[in-house]
Structure 1
Amino acid sequence: MGGMMQPNRLTASAVLLGAVGALLAATPAAAAPDTSSGRPGAAVDWKPCPAYSEGALRALAPPDRLDQLKALLARLQCGTVTVPLDYRSPRGRRITVALTRLPATDRAHRLGSLALNPGGPGGSGYLMPLQVIIQNDANAGLNTRYDLIGFDPRGVGYSTKVDCPPPAQRPERVIGTLSKDQARQLYSTQVAETAACGDYDPSFLGRLTTADVARDLDTIRAALGERGLNFLGVSWGTWLGVVYRTLFPHNVDRMLLDSVAIPRFDLTSFDSGRNAAAERNAGRFADWLAARDSTYHLGATGIRVRAAITAMVADFDAHPRTFTDLPEPLDGSLIAQAAAVNHYDWDLAGQVLGELRTAAGPTAPPKTKEVLGGDDGGPQGPPPADLPEQSNQTMNHAAFCNEDTARPSFDTAWADYQRRLAANPMTGRTLRFSAGCAGWPLPPQPVRIGPGGGELVLVGHRWETPSPYEWTIQTQARAGGRVYTVDDDVHGSVLHEPACAADAVQFFNTGRIDAGCPGVV
Structure 2
Amino acid sequence: MGRAYDLGLSDLSDPGSTSRARAAGQASGMNPHRTAAALGAALLAVTLTAVPAAASSPTVSWAPCPAYSDDVLHWLGVPAGGEGAFRAIMARTDCGTVQVPLDYDRPRGRKITIAFTRVRAADPAHRRGILATNPGGPGGFGYLMPHELALTGNVDALMDEYDVIGIDPRGVNYSTSRECDLPPTRPQVSTPFTEADTRAAYDATVAANAACLNADREFYRNLSVGNEARDMDAVRAALGESRLSFIGVSGGTGLGAAYRSLFPRRVERMWLDSVMPPTFRMDAFNALRSKAGHADFLRFADWAAGKDGGFGDTGTEVVASLSALQADLDAHPRVYTNVPAPVGGFVVSLVAAGDSSYWEYMFGALRELRDATGPVAPPSIASIFASPTPPPPGAPSTENRAMQRGVFCNDDVAPRDFGSTWSAYNAHVAAEPVTGRLIPPVSDCAGWVRPAPQSERWSPGSLVLSGHRYEAVTPYQWTLDMRDAIGGTVVTVEDDVHVSVLYKPGCAAMLVRYFRTGSPGALSCG
Tell me the TM-score normalised to structure 2 length.
Answer: 0.88
C-alpha distance in structure 2 between counterparts of 1:340 and 1:377, whole Å: 19
For residues 74-473 of structure 1, what are the structure 2 equivalents within 5 Å? 74-134=91-151, 136-165=152-181, 173-290=188-305, 292-293=306-307, 295-357=308-370, 359=371, 361-363=373-375, 369-373=378-382, 382-440=390-448, 442-473=449-480
**Aligned amino acid, residue 500 of structure 2:** S
The C-alpha deviation readout for 1:253-295, integer Å capped at 9, x for no partner, is 10000100022211111111111111011111111111x34x1
Partner SS state of residue 452, structure 1: coil
Question: Any gaps of 5 or more consecutive residues in structure 1?
Answer: 16-20, 25-29
Picking from 19, 40, 43, the partner of 2:59 is 43
User: Does structure 2 retain, via aligned residues, the 8 Å contact 1:206–1:402?
Assistant: yes
2:11 equivalent in structure 1: none
Partner SS state of residue 133, structure 2: strand
Partner SS state of residue 91, structure 2: helix
C-alpha distance in structure 2 between counterparts of 1:464 and 1:296, whole Å: 28
C-alpha distance in structure 1 between counterparts of 2:454 and 2:247, whole Å: 21
Could you list the structure 1 runs, at least 4 aligned residues long, displaced by more than 6 angstroms after superposition: 5-9, 169-172, 374-379
C-alpha distance in structure 2 between counterparts of 1:219 and 1:11, whole Å: 38
C-alpha distance in structure 1 between counterparts of 2:437 and 2:384, whole Å: 26
Deviation at 1:171, TM superposition (A): 9.3
**1:10 maps to 2:5:** no
C-alpha distance in structure 1 between counterparts of 2:4 and 2:250, whole Å: 9
Distance verdict in 2 for CA 1:488–1:378, change over 3 Å: farther
User: Does structure 2 retain, via aligned residues, the 8 Å contact 1:234–1:260?
Assistant: yes
The C-alpha deviation readout for 1:479-504, integer Å capped at 9, x for no partner, is 11111111121111111122221111
Deviation at 1:405, TM superposition (A): 2.5
Identity %: 42
User: Does structure 1 retain, via aligned residues, the 8 Å contact 2:62–2:94?
Assistant: yes
2:40 equivalent in structure 1: none
User: Does structure 1 retain, via aligned residues, the 8 Å contact 2:271–2:464?
Assistant: yes
**Aligned amino acid, residue 375 of structure 2:** T
C-alpha distance in structure 1 between counterparts of 2:260 and 2:186, whole Å: 41
The C-alpha deviation readout for 1:150-190, integer Å capped at 9, x for no partner, is 111111111112222566x9997111111111111111111
User: Does structure 1 retain, via aligned residues, the 8 Å contact 2:117–2:143?
Assistant: yes
Question: Any gaps of 5 or more consecutive residues in structure 2?
Answer: 9-16, 27-31, 36-42
Q: Which moved more, 1:296-305 or 1:101-110?
A: 296-305
Deviation at 1:302, TM superposition (A): 1.5
The C-alpha deviation readout for 1:229-265, integer Å capped at 9, x for no partner, is 1000011100100111011111111000010002221
C-alpha distance in structure 2 between counterparts of 1:34 and 1:162, whole Å: 31
Q: How many residues align?
A: 499
The C-alpha deviation readout for 1:89-119, integer Å capped at 9, x for no partner, is 1111111111111111121211110000000
Distance verdict in 2 for CA 1:170–1:439, change over 3 Å: closer
Measured on the aligned residues, the alpha-carbon RMSD in Å equals: 2.9
User: Does structure 1 retain, via aligned residues, the 8 Å contact 2:186–2:441?
Assistant: no
User: Does structure 2 retain, via aligned residues, the 8 Å contact 1:38–1:218?
Assistant: no
C-alpha distance in structure 1 between counterparts of 2:490 and 2:379, whole Å: 41
Deviation at 1:55, TM superposition (A): 2.1
**Aligned amino acid, residue 450 of structure 2:** P
Distance verdict in 2 for CA 1:88–1:419, change over 3 Å: same
1:27 equivalent in structure 2: none
C-alpha distance in structure 2 between counterparts of 1:170 and 1:145, whole Å: 45
The C-alpha deviation readout for 1:19-72, integer Å capped at 9, x for no partner, is xx9x95xxxxx9962424786522212222122233223323111321010111
For residues 27-38 of structure 1, what are the structure 2 equivalents within 5 Å? 33-35=47-49, 36=51
Deviation at 1:221, TM superposition (A): 1.3
Deviation at 1:312, TM superposition (A): 2.3
User: Does structure 1 retain, via aligned residues, the 8 Å contact 2:7–2:140?
Assistant: no
Partner SS state of residue 455, structure 1: coil
User: Does structure 2 retain, via aligned residues, the 8 Å contact 1:265–1:403?
Assistant: yes
Partner SS state of residue 132, structure 2: strand
C-alpha distance in structure 2 between counterparts of 1:14 and 1:428, whole Å: 26
